[in-house]
A and B are shown apart, each in its own frame.
Chain A
Amino acid sequence: MSPAPDSFLERAPLELRDWAVNLLPAPTQWLAHQLITIVAILAVFGLFFAFTTIAERKLLARLQNRLGPNRTGVPKFSILPWHLKHTLFGLSQPFADAVKAITKEDIVPAAADKVLHYLAPVTVVAFSLMGFAVLPFGRQYIPVELDAALLYFFAAGAATELAIFMAGWSSRNKYSLLAAMRALAQLISYELPLILSVVPIVLVTGTLSTKAIVVDQGFWTFSLLPHWFVFTPWGFAGFIIFLVSALAESNRSPFDLPEAESELIAGHLTEYSGFKYALFFMAEYFGLTALSGLGVTLFLGGWQAPCEFLQFIPSYLWFMMKLIGMIVFFIWVRGTLLRLRIDQLTRLSWQFLVPMALLNLGNAAFWVLSAHWAGPLQLVRWAVSLAIIVVPFVVMGRSLTAGYAPRTYRYAP
């Protein structure tokens, strides 16, 4: 690993924070230090959420040969003598949406459990934000350095399921409750493959610390090919399982059963309106962003540059670029795939993803045991590791789809 570049850009945000903290009296400095970190995360990922929504709408539109929202410009402020008439390509849409959500009437059903109904959107946002605390956004940018960061991340992430059930239960609405039950079934089903897809990383690196996992990926072959875990057979399989499970965990299409509009109105969101509704959406996107950030950290080398000579670009920019790539991929998937049925959903998890993840765990164990193989044995190592994944994939794919695929359409061409 080459010596860490210490350019001005790399250090600039830290210098700024230290300068601001040193302005304050010494006893309050630790508090200011933490608060600045929290505010920075909230501001950056709040804006990231805002522009994810507009990017999602525009991208989905393009995937379906439409234009997407492109009308929202700048309103005419009466205190300003001039008016910017440009529509800004609709990029101010999320702010208009926010104003709309805040000014909408907040309706609470008469029969609802008022306290839980109020708490559910608050807790869901709080828990979905907690995951950001342990993500290494850059070389020195990790809000909380925990040795058991991965454990903490999944513990905090699992708590959002409680909040969703809270919302469904407190609404006193049959659709909401049904959706909440579905959400629980789905989230618990996919919690298992999600965690099992991450365990191989822990096995190979021997640590639960996200910071150490990223540092372990900071090598290059010929200083061009990065040693990210996604470029190993077990890492690739784990990444795919992680992607599928992350989609299901964040309730996104094709796994958006809890809010299947055609079946359950809006699922657990049925009785929510105004800003509380927006909070649920915010939590969904925060959860997705946090899971994508974890995927980037574990499989895509975190803040590491893809080539050694590209290290002059600050590490946090690399992280954000990879994060945006993940989000775009998730939007692409949403624009392509159809929603699954509930039986297909659980079947996919228990009959396919969990066995594959367990096999992958064995694969990672083999990878660790064969770490000292050298020379031509390296090729054998790769071939065996590939075979452990590909052969069960083909066999299980055949046996699972026997009788189901290829589907014949009797009435449609």
Chain B
Amino acid sequence: MLGSGIINGLVVTAKNFVGSYHDPKRMVTQQYPEEPTVLPENYRNFPFLVAENAADPMGTLRCVACQICEKECPPQCIIIEKSKDKKPDASGKLQLYPAVFGIDTSVCMSCQICVEVCPFDAIKMDKVFAIAATDRFTGLFLDREKLAKPNSYYHEIHPIEAAEVDDRLAADRKAAEEKAKAAAAAKAAAAAKPAAPIAGVADPGPASPRPATTTVNPASAPAAPAPKTPPPSA
């Protein structure tokens, strides 16, 4: 009949009207500043530096100032200055650390290449999106202090990925310990047999792609006991 389509349409909108008051499936609007946005697990932008300990983030940065990310960064928004001295990292090994580490977020394009190239799992993507500042040179340039965030924060924002990283680091460290033990045993054997060639000793030095001594157990604290075997010399 003429006009039945109009009535059907009116019914549809009336259902929308009533449903929008009690049906959360219909009313999908998020009131953003009051209701925090629920971001998907894989949401990522702007890198941050992972620190082992929330109490002392500057002392427990995973970053060893190798400057790979600085060189790889396409818009060149990362600035790193190596330290003059060395500090023991979380596992007690003496390492360089970044005396200056800055990221200009007004230039950063969140391409994640710095994260891909980091051999130390020291830089990861953050989940912040509401960055605002009144001055781009002071407000949007994030220095070392602003960039450092504890590992627990990483677990908060990317739980699956952070667990994977921790597992891998723990496994690497275990493997390194066993290797070091084997090396020590071999050394002992070599000491017993002085004629043995030194080149045969398996020595996981800094040439290995992922230095085992920088890896740390998730539970380890800055005051974690040093590995039982002496760290291989750099």
Residues of chain A at the chain B interface (Cβ within 8 Å): 59, 62-67, 332-333, 335-337, 393-394, 396-398, 400-401
Contact = CB atoms under 8 A, between A and B. Distances in A.
Contact of A337 (B9, B21, B28): B9
Contacts, number: 45
B27 A67 contact: yes
B13 A400 contact: no
Contacts of B26: 65
Contacts of B16: 62-65
A332 B29 contact: no
Overall SS of chain B's interface? helix
Given A393-B2, A401-B2, A332 B20 contact: no
B10 interface: yes
A254 to B, nearest CB: 9
Contacts of A62: 16-17, 20-21
Say whether chain A's binding surface is mostly helix, strand, loop, or mixed: helix
Nearest to A63: B13
Nearest to A338: B9
A202 to B, nearest CB: 26
A393 B2 CA distance: 8
Interface of B: 1-3, 6, 9-10, 12-14, 16-17, 19-21, 26-29, 31
A65 B19 contact: yes
Contacts of B1: 394, 397
B12 A59 contact: no
Contacts of B28: 65
13 contacts: A65-B19, A65-B20, A67-B27, A67-B29, A67-B31, A332-B10, A332-B13, A332-B14, A336-B12, A337-B9, A398-B2, A400-B2, A401-B2
Contacts of A400: 2
Most buried by A among B13, B21, B28: B13
Given A336-B10, A397-B1, A59 B29 contact: no
Given A335-B13, A336-B10, A336-B13, A397 B20 contact: no
Nearest to B8: A336
